[in-house]
Chain A
Amino acid sequence: MMAAKTTARAMGLSTFLKSLFSLYLFLTLFSKSSVECFNLDDQFEEELLIKPLNNDFVYAYFQFTTTWDVPFEAKSFQNCHLFPRVLGEVLGQYSVQELHLSLTQGLWRHEKYGYPVVDAPAGTEIWAWFKEGTKDVNKSWKMLTSALSGLFCASLNFVEPHNTLSPTLSFAPTGAVPPGVHSNSSLLRYSTLPREVVCTENLTPWKKLLPCDSKRGLATLLNAGHIYNTNYHSLGIHVRPICKDISCESTAVELKQTVSLVYDMLQVGSLSRDWSFRKLFGQGLSGPCPLASSSRVYVDTTQNGSIFEFQLRPEPKAVLKSIRGGATSKIAMYDLKTMHLVSLLNIAATYTGEKLEHVNISPVLYANRYIIGYGQENGGIVTKVINNHWQPLDIVYMENIPWFLPVYLHTFQAEVNGRQLVPHAINFVPGRERERPYQLEVALRIPARSTTTLSITFDYIFLKWQEYPPDANHGFYVGAAVITSSLPVARNYTGVPHDGSTLLTRSVLIHCLRQIFLNQDKSFENSIIRFCRND
């Protein structure tokens, strides 16, 4: 500053102004080039897939993908263009390799709906892989969940060691893993908060991470008043490193924000199966997000003409054929970037054919779970895994049992038609009261066309009076069990044809959740508390 002033005095005012001008020019040029550089590096794509399901259900799936050609490091997130900086900073700070978060209300019924694009259990599910060499993974995990709790206004701060697992067989990284690094489950943390509810307060901060917020583009369709009318809705955030090219020598960052909605048209609409944007989301679409490199709406028309018949309006410009795992799906596509919208776009389907009572074709592999036993002394968890395939399937079954249900491993049984199955591997981490949940992972091969019954017994623990939730009679929730399998055929599979990522995974997670009632009569406790206070 001092030096500049002396020069100005010596050279006179005009020269000073000249030098200032040149500095300004230089700065402007530099900043412009940097913007261009960002534009080359990152891109944003928005997609909406609508899939009419059987039984008058309609599945709407939004996917907003931001990819950015930078290394997944803390300093990359100091200057962000399309990528949300708040999220990037958190990820960089706590050396996260991969993050998956979902906030869900309702139960995805695999038997009826088929498979969703992204599976999510009811409540909140979060899992993250940390980078190799993270000093204190537990501390980073706690800090990460606390930060995300603030970011999404969700009670993720309730993620504690007593509800966190490190599965060894399930939850492999979905993104690019640096060469030479073996997935080490000590870097993985998984937790569910099954009682957590999702609402507008989570949707609003979620939308703020999008480049266009909810001002333009497909995100304008996400109106809280309409999307919370659904039978199932799930918000998701998925961040992972992806390969830049086939050789995968360098990686890029991918952020996928998803919303899954299942509408029961008979409830939403006027008792007809017809659906339209206006009916589903309350308004039409004004146009794409200007920052998006592609903006598309897909309608799955595979079953149009076989199980039901509907007419789309306006007519789709193109119909894509997508072949995955031997199953062909037909998808009508609307490209918002090339469409000239005069008024609001309202894609509508009018059902023409008669309503047919049809046989539900269930997916290859699905499961359900329930509690057995009566009373509050001891009980059991039974999971039925149904394999509809003509070949045996290898599955990994993961059970996440909270500390207040101590399970007895010696009572674990896998049974098919009265015959005992011998698991390939069992990985069991016994829990500790108020410290650690029970983690059970079983790898087994289930025979073709069979129902396998997996069962384990537990005792009810007697809690201290402060440990009951406010509404004790409501009961306690137990997190979802997860079944991971590599499916040979893609029947009932749902996917966006071009999903902006290089990795195509066929492993399917089946989550199921039942709640357990552990309600104990609290009247005695109330009376005692009152007694103490009167004292």
Chain B
Amino acid sequence: MRYSGFQKVIEERVEVSTPLNSWKRVTEGVHLMKNGISPYEGDLFHETPLGLFFYSWLLTLKQPLLDLFFILMDAATCLCLQSVAASYSAQAVAKEKENKKKYSEDSHGIILTEEQVQRVPLYVVFCFNFNPFSILSCVGKTTTVVNNFFVALTLLSMCKGWMFLCCAALALATYQTFYSMVFIVPSCMYIIQLKKIKKSWPVILIMVTTFGVFLGSLLYLSMVFTDSWTFLSSTYKFLILVPDLRPNVGLFWYFFTEMFEHFRALFVCAFQINCFLYLAPLALRLRKEPMLLAFSLAALITVFRSYPSVSDLGFYFGMLPIWLHLLPYMQQGFVVCCFILFSSGLGPVVWQLWIYMRSGNANFYFGVTLAFATAQIFLITDILFAYIKREFTLVNGTKRELKGKPAKLVLE
């Protein structure tokens, strides 16, 4: 696909490239920099300064090498996710074996075994590599590929308990899009549980400080490179205030196109808070399962961030096989599958109708993106509920009886 005529088309699709990650804009930014014009003066370039220097070096490479870079990035992300899956599954099996006594007698059959999780890493590799969303983002040369790699590295070092690397990778990811900073919570929780540390505060303090120092020095370095803080308004302010209303798979563009101007500030806050709002309740509920917390945060960020693309979706879809053992407890798999399939098919059709044939309008495309987001929300809630049901079954047994009558578990 890289060498077919479709590459250009894919690169310019709104689903794949957003103002934040589009390779065309990176090229423009590098071109402006080489002509002695600050890319942050204009309105097209929204990458970070260190990213700018890196990409300007990357653009000096020949075309095959450039393509190779994106493929390598994707492969590295995939390897990270694979070993995340492997080590997490091993740890989960060990944990359940350890807790076997606490569980109900008749639920011993559903406890994870090594044979069950043996093939999970392989599934992760398949799911990530043969997922059309991640293929599209790699072909479309989106810079989210780089961000995904850093998040995957964070997760890997979290699983392995490499505190320092975890903070560094997380700082790099946050530097690119600040939404990633929420991963600091599951990382802390996971490392504490992994190392079975009794006193958690010093670890949290160390990790947050390391992360802060890394992020601070990255920002300071950027300031030194560009000689001013103007890049902040082009990157983070742009991310927060959503001035670019180009449609994407997210929910922001339509609301902010149609909104009365004086409500704008309120709704910016209301929309942006969604990414961080669920952190506290989920962290409390999933305190025993930080990996699931990290996964659901990744999915929630994809739904609620200001400029999402299918590349973010491809990333957390790659992690889905880790939750294979929750599959029997999930109820809406079929609905979610249909939703995602239909909306990703209908999206380009409706876009064509609206933008090229002028027979549709923005409502149709928004309807599709709304369905897309709804499907993702369904998926997250389904997985979370499945996890709770499984926990319940482990403790209380497979029989569902309430006062002698058969009962059903309902999410309320």
Question: Residues of A at under 8 Å CB distance from B?
Answer: 374-378, 403, 406, 408-410, 426, 428-434, 438, 459, 461-466, 520-521, 523-525, 528
The reply to whether B43 and A464 form a contact with Cβ atoms under 8 Å apart is no
Q: Which 8 A-B pairs have the closest CB atoms?
A: A430-B42, A410-B31, A521-B361, A375-B356, A462-B245, A524-B363, A524-B361, A376-B355
Residue interface mask B254-296, A partner, CB < 8 A = 1 = 0011110100000000000000000000000000000000000
Once the chains are docked, how many angstroms separate the CA of A525 from the CA of B355?
A: 16
Interface string of B81-114 (1 = CB under 8 A from A): 0000000000000000000000000000000000
Q: How far is the CB of A186 from chain B (nearest CB, A)?
A: 16
Contacting A377 at CB < 8 Å: which of B41, B44, B355?
B355
A462 to B19 alpha-carbon distance, docked (Å): 12
Residues of A within 8 A of B258 (CB): 465, 525, 528
Could you mark each residue 324-368 of chain B with 1 if its beta carbon is under 8 Å from any beta carbon of chain A, else 0?
000000000000000000000000000000111010111100000
Task: Verify if B32 is at the interface (C-beta below 8 Å from A).
Answer: yes
Contact between A406 and B261 (Cβ–Cβ < 8 Å)?
A: no
Binary A-proximity of B194-224 (CB < 8 A = 1, otherwise 0): 0000000000000000000000000000000
Which parts of B1-54 form the interface with A (CB within 8 Å)?
Answer: 12, 14, 24, 27-28, 31-32, 35, 37, 39, 41-44
CB distance from B3 to the nearest CB of A (A): 21
Question: Which residues of B have CB within 8 Å of A426?
Answer: 35
Interface residues in B43-86 (C-beta closer than 8 Å to A): 43-44
Q: Which A residues lie within 8 Å of B354 (CB)?
A: 521
Of residues 283 through 328 on chain B, the ones whose CB sits less than 8 Å from some CB of chain A are: none
How far, in Å, is B33 (CB) from chain A's closest CB?
Answer: 11
Q: Which residues of A contact B27 (CB under 8 A)?
A: 408, 410
Q: Which of B41, B356, B362 contacts A520 (CB 8 A)?
A: B362
Contact A521–B358 (Cβ < 8 Å): yes
Contact A524 to B42, CB < 8 A, known contacts A375-B355, A430-B32: no
Point out the residues of chain B lying under 8 angstroms from A375, CB to CB.
355-356
* B44 interface neighbour in A408, A525, A528, Cβ under 8 Å: A408
For residue B261, which residues in chain A have a CB less than 8 angstroms away from its CB?
A: 464, 466
The 8 Å CB contact of A408, one of B28, B256, B259, B355, is: B28
Given contacts A406-B43, A408-B24, A410-B28, contact A428 B35 (CB under 8 A): yes
CA of A429 to CA of B246 in the docked complex: distance in angstroms? 23
Task: List the B side residues contacting A523 at CB < 8 Å.
Answer: 361
Contact partners of B355 in chain A: CB under 8 A: 375-377
Contact with A along B127-146 (1 / 0, CB 8 A): 00000000000000000000
- Whether the Cβ atoms of A378 and B35 lie closer than 8 Å is no
Please state if A432 and B362 are interface contacts (CB–CB under 8 Å): no
**B361 near A461: Cβ-Cβ < 8 Å:** no
A117 and B64 alpha carbons, distance in the complex (Å) = 56
Contact for B253 among A403, A410, A462, A524, CB less than 8 A: A462
- The smallest beta-carbon distance between A511 and chain B, in angstroms, is 25
Residue from B24, B41, B247 within 8 A of A430 (CB atoms): B41
Give me 29 A-to-B residue pairs in the complex whose CB atoms sit less than 8 angstroms apart, sorted by A's number.
A376-B358, A377-B356, A406-B42, A406-B44, A408-B24, A408-B44, A409-B28, A409-B31, A409-B35, A410-B27, A428-B37, A429-B37, A430-B32, A430-B42, A430-B43, A431-B42, A431-B43, A433-B43, A433-B243, A433-B244, A438-B42, A459-B246, A462-B245, A462-B247, A462-B253, A464-B261, A520-B362, A521-B354, A528-B258
- Shortest beta-carbon distance from A472 to chain B in Å: 12
The smallest C-beta distance from B262 to any residue of chain A, in angstroms, reads 11
Considering only CB atoms, which chain A residue lies closest to B363 in the complex?
A524
Q: How far in angstroms is the closest Cβ of chain A from B316?
A: 27
Q: How far is the CA of A165 from the CA of B312 in the complex (A)?
A: 40
Q: Which residues of A contact B358 (CB under 8 A)?
A: 376, 521
10 more contacts with CB within 8 A, not counting A433-B243, A434-B243, A521-B360, are A376-B355, A377-B14, A377-B356, A406-B44, A408-B24, A408-B28, A409-B31, A430-B42, A461-B244, A524-B363
Contact across chains for B362 and A409 when beta carbons are under 8 A apart = no
Distance in angstroms between the alpha carbons of A520 and B356 in the assembled complex: 11
A521 CA / B358 CA spacing, docked (Å): 7
**CA A433 – CA B358 in complex, angstroms?**
25
Partner of B356 from the list A374, A410, A430, A525 (CB cut-off 8 Å) is A374
In the complex, A432→B233 CA distance in Å? 12
Q: How far is the CA of A465 from the CA of B256 in the complex (A)?
A: 9
Residues of the A chain whose Cβ atoms lie less than 8 Å from the Cβ of B12: 377-378
**Residue of chain B at shortest CB distance from A432:** B43
Cβ–Cβ < 8 Å partners of A464 in chain B: 245, 256-257, 259, 261
How distant is the Cα of A521 from the Cα of B355 in the complex, in angstroms? Answer: 10
CA distance A408 to B243 in the complex (A): 19
B40 to chain A: closest residue by CB: A430
Q: Which residues of A contact B243 (CB under 8 A)?
A: 433-434
The smallest beta-carbon distance between B247 and chain A, in angstroms, is 7
**In this complex, what residue of A is CB-closest to B29?**
A410
User: Which chain B residue shows the least CB distance to A522?
Assistant: B361
Instruction: Identify B42's interface contact among A432, A462, A525, CB under 8 A.
Output: A432
A521 to B243, CA, bound (A): 21
Which residues in A have their C-beta under 8 angstroms from that of B363? 524
Q: How far is the CA of A409 from the CA of B391 in the complex (A)?
A: 57
By a CB distance below 8 angstroms, the chain B residues around A428 are: 32, 35, 37
A17 CB → nearest B CB, Å: 72
Q: How far is the CB of A160 from chain B (nearest CB, A)?
A: 16
Q: Which residues of A contact B44 (CB under 8 A)?
A: 406, 408, 430
Measured CB to CB, the closest approach of chain A to B32, in angstroms, equals 6
Chain B min CB distance to A337 (Å): 57
Report the bound CA distance from A410 to B42 in whole Å: 14
User: How many angstroms between the C-alpha atoms of A374 and B258 in the bound complex?
Assistant: 25
